[in-house]
Amino acid sequence: MGEDDKEAIGFSTVPLAGAHPPTSQGHDPLILSAALRLSVHQGQVLNFLLAKPLTLIKELERHFGLTSEARRTIICRLRERLQYHRIRIITHPGAGYSIPSEDRARIAEIVEQFRSI
């Protein structure tokens, strides 16, 4: 997947608001975006983004300790990208996020399209 393809999918190096400041492990506001870009290049996060976006958020949270503001930023970015494919992420106050069942068939189709790239 080329650089243009990655940008078309919606990944950038813009820092995420609310990401933790640098730590002794070197995690800084760019690390989440960099991790996404690297993983897309390796073909690993694309399936998470399209098939399991909420799992992706949980994994990032587990590895990088996201603040609630960073979590909201990621959800917002996922919504923007998934809206392009007419897929919704629904917010349930106090209960997390979900994808409506009627959108799940489209997710499978999109994943297959990207696998053929």
pLDDT in tens, 75-104: 777 777 767 667 777 777 776 667 777 777
Identify the domain containing residue 86 by its residue range. Answer: 3-115
Domain count, the chain: 1
pLDDT band, very low/low/confident/very high, at 21 (cuts 50, 70, 90): very low
Q: What is the DSSP annotation of 82-110?
A: HHHTT---EEETTTEEE--HHHHHHHHHH
Dist. CA 58–CA 98, nearest whole Å: 13
Query: How many residues make up the chain in this entry?
Result: 117
Structure tokens at 21: 């400041």
